[in-house]
Chain A
Amino acid sequence: MTEERYPINIWVNEERYEKLKAAGLADLCEEMLAGMKVIRVYADEAQKNEILRRFPTAKFDSATTKSIELLPREVKDRIFHKVVEKKSVEILGEFLEED
């Protein structure tokens, strides 16, 4: 059985889209709400719990989207920069180790 994974939704405006395009990741963008683009970085159960512990304002939306929401903007910015730097969305383990 595959382990459950929980997305962090990083909302993508034009500026972010250009950076993702340059990193070859534009195809990973999905449309989530009325055409609004999002790129998803996934956490496993342990990483999800660690994120919720480390950033108390964050919330797991168990009711609707099963995603980790309300991370501080600067944390999301740093996650986004890590995605672009590593040209991958599989960066959460490294991000948590470095943070």
Chain B
Amino acid sequence: MAEIGHGGKEIRERILAPEEAAAKVRGLPRIPVRSQIANEIIDIAYGWFCPLEGFMGQEDVEAVCSRMRLKDGTVWSIPILFDLSQEEVAEHGIKVGDSLCLTYHDQPMAILEVEEIFTYDKGAMCQAIYGTTEEKHPGCARTYGYKDVFLAGPVTLVNRPVINPPFEPYFIPPLEMRKRFREKGWQRIVAHQTRNVPHTGHEWLMKGAWLQTYAELPIEKPLVGVLVNAIIGEKRKGDYIDEAIILTQDELKKAGYFGDHNHMTSLTFWDMRYAGPKEAVFHAILRTNLGLTHHMFGRDHAGVGTYYGPYDAHRLLATVQDELSITPVYSMNWLYCPHCGEITSEGLCNHRDEWQKFSGTVIRSIVQDGVKPPRLIFRPEVFELVLECAEKYGFGSPFVTDEYLAKRTPVFTIPPLQA
């Protein structure tokens, strides 16, 4: 059965069989890539980026910047680029028509067939995608950090990544994910985008979205699931460590706050651009390809600082809703009301003067102080696991430190190519 992804195109993995790979890369110029590009190669090859088959050419970039579409009209909101310096292009004598062996940590990872070599005004790209040209915007900083020349063309994986513990159960590419959804019998699946260890505000965001998604479906057997899809990419100091994020999200199910019948945890490799509304559209595309039917969007989805209004993403999604195969589920904030004595929604409770709002920063501060929070705020199983992860993976801290960045086990490695 064909699996249809974003834009109505069939999802096909672009991965060479091991017996073909060694011969195909033999003699090709070897170009090392950094982690962002390696992540995006995986996303292209396994179908997270369907209908993209490789890195974008100039016409696609122009269309994304000016119309939030690929050149063929398919909705797309973030440029996917492969950059090199003029010197690297000259040093390897790279020209249109060449094939390159892209390596990661010295191991062959993929083949890029160069169809186009071009330059692009990075400031104009920032203004179009992020609505600003300020270098302090992390998406702009990433854009300005690109080297000067972009290479476009199809990408084929020659060597599957080995996902290292504890992440391996959570790497579920689109075709496999869709199979698992069928096995579970879920008719609707709602995405929870996260880069956080869950407090009960997050837990209730998921529970609320699950109820919204269930809507008119019959309740005799479980038909709706929540997919926690953690974004794994570049880390900044002070973020929660990846291991704590993925394991604690799964712990909500293991400890019974959800169950196998309605909850699953997975990861997507992606370096956040913090593009707010444009990133919301992009997340909708990623999760469409994973086979989800619904996507939760809260306030200021994927925003940063004060660049975007709290509901800008919702408004932009509405403009392309007819062309997306995923239904947005808009979530109000959840908070603790001492009068009600429970977690409640700001859309329900009217004890406004008594509300105790969740702040991710305050919760992190509690965790940092090592003071056990009440179970109404932070599930004890989750808190214990955060502390365990700090010891086991974080060099004593649940938050990213210089030591963690230097010494952590990478989420994935590329093994030597089989001869």
Co-assembled chains A and B: yes
Category for how many chain A residues contact B? 20 to 34
Asked if B361 contacts A34 (CB within 8 A), the reply is no
Q: Are A9 and B376 closer than 8 Å at their CB atoms? A: no
Whether A65 pairs with B371 at a CB distance below 8 angstroms is no
CA distance A29 to B374 in the complex (A): 16
Residues 357-390 of B at the A interface (beta carbon under 8 Å): 357-359, 361-362, 364-366, 368-374, 376-377
Which chain A residues numbered 1 to 51 have a C-beta less than 8 Å away from chain B?
9-13, 16, 31-36
Considering only residues 324-364 of chain B, those with a C-beta below 8 Å from chain A are 336, 338, 356-359, 361-362, 364
A36 to B357, CA, bound (A): 13
Would you call B369 and A34 a contact (CB within 8 A)? no
Report B126 CB to chain A, min CB distance, Å.
24
Pairs A–B under 8 Å by Cβ, sample size 5: A31-B338, A64-B357, A67-B362, A69-B362, A70-B364
B309 CB–A CB distance under 8 Å: no
Are A34 and B362 in contact, CB atoms less than 8 angstroms apart? no
List chain A residues, Cβ under 8 A from B361.
59, 61, 64-65, 69-70
Interface residues of B (CB under 8 A from A): 237-238, 336, 338, 356-359, 361-362, 364-366, 368-374, 376-377, 399
- Complex-state Cα separation, A36 to B356, whole angstroms: 11
Chain A contacts to B: CB under 8 angstroms: 9-13, 16, 31-36, 57, 59, 61, 63-65, 67, 69-73, 76
A21 to B: closest C-beta gap in Å: 17
A61's partner among B336, B338, B362, B368 (CB-CB below 8 A) is B362
Question: What is the chain B residue whose CB lies nearest that of A57?
Answer: B238
A61 to B361, CA, bound (A): 7
Q: Are A64 and B356 in contact (CB under 8 A)?
A: no
